[in-house]
Amino acid sequence: MSSDVESRDRRCRPGRHRDRSPPRPAGEQVRLVSRRGAGPEHPAIELIAADATDAARLTRLTAGAVALYNCANHALHRWAADWPPLATALLTTAEQTGAVLATIGNLFGYGPTDGPMTEATPLAATGVKAGVRKQMWLSALAAHEAGRARTTEVRGSDFLGIGTNSITSRILPNVLAGRRVVLPVDFDVPHTITYVGDVARTVVAAATDPDAWGRAWHVPSPPALSLRELATRAATLAGAPTPRLTRLPYPVLWFGGLVNPLLRELRETTYQFDRPYVLDSSASEQALGIEPTALDEALAETLGALRRDPGSGSAERSP
């Protein structure tokens, strides 16, 4: 489980970001809170070991911050149990301190759709995990509309980047090593991929722009492509063999879920990988002035890091 949250000092009031480099406003101070107090070593980053579900402690740590960033993630099979107390503590802290609560969300709340997802797409999903994320945002939005807090959320598709835990981290290390990739997905339908660097730039831009508060935004992402195309482009960039991709039959996934909690949770989200799963980020690109990083650039960075440190990916090996 991860309970990482960040608060940024009020000396930081960055504006909009129209280039593709990470925002680095002068004087910015970051307090990174996690259970273990781990994180990147940097003079502007203070690492704090704390339980972020403790609203009183989190409120004290957030005092004076301009923004409170919810960058946490939980194992899929723990969402129903672990997310509500953390979400409640974060929202309570935002209400008590006045810091903008900026959450990194996802697309689960939309459920199956017949076309590209926009910020106006109804949150119509009915699954357990989708319900958790949907309620988190609805509670934050209600607090904003009632004047109790200032909130925003940015939503991306499956992440691409080092240290991510997504479909790309199941594909790229295996492609780089020339191993077969076996996953319960249709490798030939369009699927949006979101670069984590663009997630960071978008959540900072949304948190520090009053016009962006009180609504959700999609992270600017490159045009959707099939996972087969993604694997092939990665192999070409890395000089690796042609990817070998095999679709795991649904019955195997279902029976595997009897003993594996992660596989059991994936039953609920098979629709994300058996039909087009396309994110429309045109609204945020225009309003926040952020362009998505080119896919080949993001791939090259990720593959380079995997070559230098194979353990930097969070993938489990495919058979």
**Which amino acid is it at 152?**
T
Phi, psi (degrees; rounded to nearest 5) at 76:
-50, -40
| Residues 50, 48: Cα–Cα separation, whole Å | 6
The residues, any chain, with a CB within 8 Å of residue 229's CB and separated by 6 or more, are none
| Residues 166, 43: Cα–Cα separation, whole Å | 30
pLDDT at 263 (0 to 100): 75
Q: Give domain limits for the chain.
A: 5-158+193-218, 160-191+223-276+294-312
Distance of CA 217 to the CA centre of its chain: 12
pLDDT at 77 (0 to 100): 86
pLDDT at 8 (0 to 100): 57
Tokens matching residue 215: 């609504």
| Residues 195, 306: Cα–Cα separation, whole Å | 15
* 300 closest CA partner among 234, 225, 229, 243: 234
Distance of CA 49 to the CA centre of its chain: 22
At the topology level, CATH places domain 160-191+223-276+294-312 in UDP-galactose 4-epimerase; domain 1 (3.90.25)
Phi, psi (degrees; rounded to nearest 5) at 271:
-60, -20
Q: 274 with 185: CB under 8 angstroms?
A: yes
Query: Any idea what the Cα angle at residue 250 is, between residues 248 and 251, rounded to 5°?
Result: 110
pLDDT at 11 (0 to 100): 34
pLDDT at 6 (0 to 100): 63
pLDDT tens digits for the chain (319 residues)? 335 666 655 433 333 333 444 444 446 899 999 999 999 899 999 999 999 999 999 999 999 999 999 999 888 889 999 999 999 999 999 999 999 999 999 999 999 999 999 999 999 998 898 999 999 999 999 999 999 999 999 999 999 998 888 999 999 999 999 999 999 999 999 999 999 999 999 999 999 999 999 999 999 999 999 999 999 999 999 999 999 999 988 888 777 877 777 777 778 889 999 999 999 999 999 999 999 999 999 999 999 999 988 766 554 433 3
| Residue 231 burial (CB count, 10 A) | 22
Question: Which residue intervals of 66-148 are DSSP H helices?
Answer: 79-97, 128-145
The 3-class SS string of 147-211 reads: CCCCEEEEECCEEECCCCCCHHHHHHHHHHHCCCEEECCCCCCEECEEEHHHHHHHHHHHHCCHH
CATH class of 5-158+193-218: alpha beta
The residues, any chain, with a CB within 8 Å of residue 271's CB and separated by 6 or more, are 111, 112
